[in-house]
């Protein structure tokens, strides 16, 4: 009876909560939207029909800008904080992370919901809109030098955690990162049935790993997307304008055998695709989505059936970077 009441109040389905007493931390079936946090996940999947595709291929995009904080990383923020609370890992009430911005927004939402403080280390070059949103949600921002890259921000976050006992969420290494995308994979298969090819960009590599771990065993071809200047294809580390993707060191949780193809996309191609998506499909997406669309079109001749590409966020948080010019 008590569980039923709890379930009713939280908007979650009674059967799901009854599975075990910690079910609310893992598998949740949403009955309806009642609280802001319920607006994380269950994003739309739309078909793109204006691009030239080989016969027998359908192209679908998962629109992650429809999460509460406007990106795919809300899923990660929610999962990492809930798992850390469940394990009792948050000792001082403060959480710290290194992020280009979307992770910080996702974490800020989760910290706000649980009454925790958040401190984020952000390399200076990243979008000011994302930084303003993190601050609006109560996060404390610390800039690190653009030249030191994400590795510099990671080192700064770790030394702060070591010095103060704050909980370092460590998105680049925790297995809670890929696990945040279990439900994303389920949402996609629920929507299209068979996924013949999945295309996802890699920043931390969590989205790709989570999706590939679940979809590859069902026969899905997996394509990981990076900008020129990222190291997955054996290229040298360097700067790029495409934001949110790009890898400086190989992520430990990313197993080579999960990857069928690496697509390395130039900034020019990514930004051209962003503009095409606006005028052809009416979709306003960030540059990592543009890179992923380009990769999906490059790879489309290798499959028949359903191709699903992940669009992690929207263009409005990059307007100050003249994304449409």
Nearer to ligand PMP, 60 or 318 (CB): 318
Distance CA 16, CA 8 (A): 12
Q: Is the dihedral of CA 191, 197, 203, 205 positive or negative?
A: positive
For β-strands 45-48 and 57-63, DSSP reports them as: antiparallel
Structure tokens at 230: 């990222």
Of 233, 208, 225, give the one whose Cα is nearest residue 299: 225
Catalytic residue among 62, 73, 130, 183: 73
Alpha helices in the chain, H assignment, sequence order: 2-10, 14-18, 73-87, 102-114, 128-136, 149-164, 176-179, 182-192, 206-215, 267-276, 287-299
Radius of gyration of the CA atoms of the chain, in A = 19
Pick the closer one to ligand PMP by CB: 160 or 172: 172
The stretch among 3-11, 114-122, 155-163, 198-206 that binds ligand PMP (CB under 6 A) is: 198-206
73 binds ligand PMP (CB under 6 A): yes
188 binds ligand PMP (CB under 6 A): no
31 catalytic per annotation: no
244-283 footprint of ligand PMP as x/- string (CB under 6 A): xx--------------------------------------
- Which span (25-33, 49-57, 206-214, 227-235) binds ligand PMP, by CB under 6 A? 206-214
For ligand PMP, which is the closer residue by CB, 167 or 318? 318
Comparison of 220 and 287: residue with beta carbon closer to ligand PMP = 287
Residues 118-177 that bind ligand PMP (CB under 6 A): none
Q: Does position 204 bind ligand PMP by CB under 6 A? A: yes
Name the residue with the smallest CB distance to ligand PMP. 244
Nearest to 2 by CA among 133, 11, 132, 14: 14
Q: What angle do CA 311, 236, 267 make, to 5 degrees?
A: 35
Site string for ligand PMP, 92-111 (x = CB under 6 A): --------x-x---------
Catalytic site positions: 73
């Amino acid at each position: 009876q008590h569980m039923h009441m709890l379930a009713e109040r939280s908007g979650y389905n009674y059967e799901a909560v009854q599975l075990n007493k910690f079910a609310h931390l893992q598998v949740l079936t949403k009955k309806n939207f009642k609280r802001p946090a319920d607006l994380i996940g269950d994003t739309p999947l739309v078909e793109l029909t204006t691009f030239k595709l080989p016969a027998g291929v359908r192209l679908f995009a998962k629109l992650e800008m429809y999460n509460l904080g406007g990106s795919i990383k809300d899923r990660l923020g929610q999962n990492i904080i809930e798992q850390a609370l469940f394990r009792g890992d948050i000792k001082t009430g403060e959480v710290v992370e290194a992020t280009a911005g979307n992770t910080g927004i996702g974490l800020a939402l989760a910290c706000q919901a649980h009454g925790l403080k958040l401190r984020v280390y952000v390399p200076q070059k990243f979008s000011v809109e994302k930084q303003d949103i993190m601050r609006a949600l109560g996060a404390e921002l610390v800039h690190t030098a653009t030249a030191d890259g994400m590795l510099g921000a990671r080192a700064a976050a770790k030394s702060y955690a070591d010095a103060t006992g704050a909980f370092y969420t460590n998105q680049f290494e925790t297995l809670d990162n890929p696990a945040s995308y279990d439900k994303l994979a389920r949402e996609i298969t629920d929507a299209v049935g068979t996924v013949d090819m999945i295309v996802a960009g890699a920043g931390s590599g969590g989205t790709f790993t989570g999706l590939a771990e679940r979809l590859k065993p069902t026969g899905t071809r997996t394509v990981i997307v990076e900008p020129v200047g990222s190291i997955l294809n054996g290229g040298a580390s360097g700067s790029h304008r495409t934001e949110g993707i790009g890898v400086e060191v190989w992520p430990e949780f990313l197993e080579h055998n999960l990857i069928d193809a690496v697509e390395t996309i130039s900034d020019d191609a990514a930004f051209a695709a962003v503009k095409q998506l606006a005028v052809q499909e009416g979709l306003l997406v960030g540059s990592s989505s543009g890179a992923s669309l380009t990769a999906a079109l490059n790879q489309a001749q290798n499959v028949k059936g359903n191709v699903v590409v992940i669009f992690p966020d929207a263009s409005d948080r990059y307007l100050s970077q003249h994304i449409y010019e």
